């Protein structure tokens, strides 16, 4: 169970890449990934290219992140979603709060 | 060097044989009949023939007969003339002789002449031997090529279902294709394609095709995003190919509706999207370097996305097409193809190939040529999908300390995914089962209250408390029952726990806003399955999942 986070070279974009499963077991790690964020960051990208499985706590984690960072970060993108994952976001109407690609 | 003297006069031929032995020709025989000579030549027992003029007078075709019997191998034939016959010298050469020997013999001259003709004979023998080696080599190469071609043909064959989804044409310039075209459908029923071109053509460039095809088929079947597939191929080829070889390639995915496309293009001519009227809508130009060049950490994942209209047409081709040159030396180019399509929007792949051949004229095909065309619109996905037919039913009960030690959802999903036709549902089933199990465990057995999750701190605190209470749990039971009915194509999932029940009614009317950090699960459950029913005070919940949805 691993998670990758990296900052773009200009320091404005934080990318968090999830593993095969994005579920409740990731709660602490996911929170860690954006804790103590540099002031320069204005965009957060969640890369789900490796993710096949997601539960509702993942939705909670994403919303939580948006709440905590909402003052600083203007753009939250969910990228490389597979069809299943995209459908779950659609059901949860996440397209209203995130850019889903 | 085996010498044969043919002379009707016994004393003359013995004398010559004796002289030849003096000159260190150890293997000398002498006979009086040219027919016997023919037999010896046929058996390849003779390397040079010395024949008396008298014999030729009786049988003027003797020399040509000897030469014929020697076949491809050069057999020097020398004629012996005496003083009176010297004026026949030219005639002898006309009859096919390689030289003449004059009697009486001057040993120095005889020796020099024989040495010269021995050399010619040895050279001819070496030549023949090399020819035979070449022939053997050629035969074995042909056999090996036939075997490899067979393997390639089988490994790169596109399965019949996927073939119906696209129109394509591959024409290699040699036995082996340095171009590669692959199609596959993912478990979700989306269509993946790969069109690519290894540097060069022939066997050397086709060698990368097998590992590429294998990696593409595996990753596309799993539904990985195109840039991940390209990254996988890049790492494979980077490791495998020699430094001067690489693979220009496009990896694309088209959704079930046949309109939404994601394209990764590295080093290939553009993919062209035309409207049904032949108007160019979109060009997917190369954005990246060819595969096999970049280190994995330098690899660029940018992808082009586009939503086409049904009836649009996606056309892909290798540079073997754009670089076809007509007799005036003009290349077709991408512009040429665009013109053809706008002139004749309905042109099919077959007609395009004919048009290419007419353009090229009598010139030779210099490079591999690959073309494909896809008409946008709903994929006949049902064809590619496997419908599970076997009914099944099972129950899993987890109790006591096992609840602490095992998360059954991962195991259940692994088992379900292995079932024929269920793999593509595994993502949704995971979400549903996770939700049901989390409810049974967290609310039923651990008595956690979801409203804790309403703020950021509480969200984390909730999961920390979950961990603490789970670590202390020693009793309780969760029972998961699943059954599949193939006639209705539905899976009934029932989860029951030994807890006190929970306020499910209140949950059903609880916070449903977009911002709420809890209460989302139930809504998800409702949308993913047709029916959610609580019973026994919330300790038992049953949902029905339809495979058709």
Domain extent at residue A18: 4-100
CA atoms within 13 A on the CB side of B246: 18
d(C-alpha B314, C-alpha B371), whole Å:
11
For residue B517, the model assigns a pLDDT of: 53
For residue B511, the model assigns a pLDDT of: 47
Q: Which helix (H) or strand (E) holds B115?
A: helix B107-155
Please give the radius of gyration of chain A, using alpha carbons only, rounded to the nearest integer: 12
In angstroms, the separation between the Cα of residue B457 and the nearest Cα of chain A is 9
B523/A28 CB distance under 8 A: no
| Closest by Cβ to A53, choosing from B227, B427, B466 | B427
Q: Are B38 and B68 in contact (CB under 8 A)?
A: no
CA atoms within 13 A on the CB side of B381: 17
**A24: chain B residues, CB-CB within 8 Å:** 434, 438, 463, 466
Searching chain A, which residue's CA lies closest to the CA of residue B455? Answer: A64
What architecture is the B386-546 domain classified under in CATH? Answer: 2-Layer Sandwich (3.30)
Q: DSSP for B434-470?
A: HHHHHIIIIIIIS---GGGGGSHHHHHHHHHHHHHHH
| Closest by Cβ to A31, choosing from B460, B517, B527 | B460
| Closest by Cβ to B228, choosing from A27, A49, A96 | A49
Mean pLDDT across chain A: 89
B188/A96 CB distance under 8 A: no
For residue B513, the model assigns a pLDDT of: 52
pLDDT digits (tens, 9 = 90+) for A8-59: 888 899 999 999 899 998 998 999 999 888 889 999 999 998 898 999 899 9
For residue B389, the model assigns a pLDDT of: 80
Searching chain B, which residue's CA lies closest to the CA of residue A83? Answer: B188
CA atoms within 13 A on the CB side of B277: 2
Positive or negative torsion for Cα B512, B515, B521, B527? positive
| Closest by Cβ to A84, choosing from B427, B524, B527 | B427
Q: Is the peptide bond before B104 cis (omega within 30 degrees of 0)?
A: yes
d(C-alpha A97, C-alpha A77), whole Å:
9
CA atoms within 13 A on the CB side of B485: 8
What architecture is the B157-383 domain classified under in CATH? Answer: 4-Layer Sandwich (3.60)
For residue B483, the model assigns a pLDDT of: 94
ipTM over 0.90: no
**A96: chain B residues, CB-CB within 8 Å:** 514
What architecture is the B2-128 domain classified under in CATH? Answer: 3-Layer(aba) Sandwich (3.40)
- Disruptive mutation site among B434, B446, B452, B545 for chain A (greatest number of A CBs within 10 Å): B434
Using the Cβ of A27 and the Cβ atoms of chain B, whether some distance falls under 8 Å is answered with yes
Q: How many domains does chain A have?
A: 1
**A88: chain B residues, CB-CB within 8 Å:** 427-428, 431, 524, 528
**B224: chain A residues, CB-CB within 8 Å:** 49
| Nearest alpha-carbon partner for B205 in B321, B323, B368, B317 | B368
**A21: chain B residues, CB-CB within 8 Å:** 410, 430
A24/B463 CB distance under 8 A: yes
What residue segments make up the domains of chain B, in order of their start? 2-128, 157-383, 386-546
Could you count the other beta carbons within 10 Å of the beta carbon of residue B333?
Answer: 14
Using the Cβ of A60 and the Cβ atoms of chain B, whether some distance falls under 8 Å is answered with yes
Using the Cβ of A52 and the Cβ atoms of chain B, whether some distance falls under 8 Å is answered with yes
d(C-alpha A57, C-alpha B76), whole Å:
96
For residue B383, the model assigns a pLDDT of: 45
Searching chain B, which residue's CA lies closest to the CA of residue A69? Answer: B456
In angstroms, the separation between the Cα of residue B517 and the nearest Cα of chain A is 5
Enter the tokens of residue B266. Answer: 């590295």
User: Which CATH number belongs to the domain containing residue A37 in this structure?
Assistant: 3.30.750.24
d(C-alpha B402, C-alpha B406), whole Å:
6
Tell me which residues of chain B have a pLDDT lower than 70: 200-201, 381-386, 502-519, 549
Strand A43-47's sheet: what is its strand order?
A4-7, A13-17, A43-47, A75-79, A99-100
């Amino acid at each position: 169970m691993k998670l990758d986070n990296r900052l773009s070279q200009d320091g404005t974009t934080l990318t968090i890449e999830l593993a095969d499963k994005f579920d409740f077991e990731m709660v602490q790690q996911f929170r860690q990934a954006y804790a103590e964020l540099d002031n320069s960051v204005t965009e957060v990208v969640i890369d789900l290219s490796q993710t096949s499985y997601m539960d509702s706590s993942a939705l909670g984690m994403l919303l939580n992140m948006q709440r905590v960072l909402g003052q600083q970060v203007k753009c939250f993108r969910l990228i490389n979603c597979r069809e299943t994952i995209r459908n779950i976001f659609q059901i949860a109407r996440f397209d209203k709060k995130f850019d889903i690609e | 060097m085996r010498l044969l003297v043919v002379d009707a006069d016994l004393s003359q031929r013995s004398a010559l044989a004796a002289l030849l032995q003096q000159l260190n020709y150890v293997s000398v025989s002498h006979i009086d009949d040219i027919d016997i000579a023919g037999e010896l030549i046929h058996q390849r027992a003779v390397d040079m023939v010395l024949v008396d003029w008298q014999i030729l007078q009786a049988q003027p075709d003797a020399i040509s007969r000897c030469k014929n019997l020697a076949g491809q191998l050069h057999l020097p034939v020398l004629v012996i003339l005496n003083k009176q016959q010297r004026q026949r010298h030219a005639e002898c050469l006309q009859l096919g002789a390689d030289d003449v020997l004059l009697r009486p013999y001057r040993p120095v001259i005889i020796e020099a002449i024989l040495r010269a003709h021995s050399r010619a004979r040895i050279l001819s023998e070496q030549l023949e031997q090399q020819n035979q080696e070449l022939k053997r080599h050629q035969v074995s190469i042909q056999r090996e090529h036939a075997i490899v071609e067979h393997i390639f043909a089988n490994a790169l064959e596109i399965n019949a279902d996927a073939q119906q989804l696209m129109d394509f044409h591959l024409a290699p310039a040699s036995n082996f294709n340095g171009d590669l075209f692959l199609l596959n459908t993912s478990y979700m029923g989306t269509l993946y394609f790969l069109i690519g071109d290894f540097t060069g053509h022939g066997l050397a460039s086709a060698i990368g095709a097998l590992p590429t095809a294998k990696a593409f088929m595996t990753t596309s079947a799993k539904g990985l995003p195109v840039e991940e597939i390209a990254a996988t191929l890049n790492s494979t080829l980077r490791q495998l190919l020699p430094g001067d070889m690489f693979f220009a390639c496009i990896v694309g995915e088209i959704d079930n509706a046949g309109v939404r496309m994601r394209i990764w293009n590295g080093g290939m001519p553009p993919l062209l999207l035309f409207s049904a009227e032949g108007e160019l809508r979109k060009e997917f130009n190369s954005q990246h370097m060819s595969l096999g060049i970049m280190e994995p950490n330098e690899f660029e994942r940018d992808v082009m996305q586009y939503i086409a209209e049904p009836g649009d047409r996606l056309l892909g081709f290798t540079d073997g097409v754009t670089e076809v040159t007509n007799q005036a030396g003009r290349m077709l180019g991408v512009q040429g193809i665009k013109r053809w399509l706008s002139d004749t929007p309905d042109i099919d792949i077959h007609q395009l190939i004919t048009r290419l051949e007419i353009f090229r004229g009598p010139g030779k095909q210099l490079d591999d040529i690959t073309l494909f065309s896809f008409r946008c619109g709903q994929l006949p996905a049902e064809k590619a999908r496997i419908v599970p037919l076997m009914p099944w039913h099972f129950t899993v009960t987890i109790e006591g300390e096992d609840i602490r030690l095992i998360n059954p959802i991962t195991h259940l999903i692994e088992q379900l995914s292995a079932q024929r036709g269920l793999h593509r549902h595994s993502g949704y089933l995971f979400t549903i089962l996770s939700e049901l199990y989390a409810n049974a465990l967290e609310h039923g057995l651990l008595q956690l209250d979801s409203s804790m999750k309403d703020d950021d701190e509480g969200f984390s605190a909730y999961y920390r408390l979950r961990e603490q209470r789970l670590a202390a749990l020693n009793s309780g039971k969760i029972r998961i029952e699943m059954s599949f009915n193939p006639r209705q194509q539905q899976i009934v999932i029932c989860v029951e726990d030994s807890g006190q029940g929970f306020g499910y009614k209140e949950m059903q009317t609880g916070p449903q806003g977009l911002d709420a950090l809890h209460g989302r699960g139930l809504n998800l459950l409702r949308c993913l399955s047709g029916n959610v029913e609580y019973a026994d005070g919330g300790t038992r919940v049953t949902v029905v999942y339809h495979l058709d949805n």
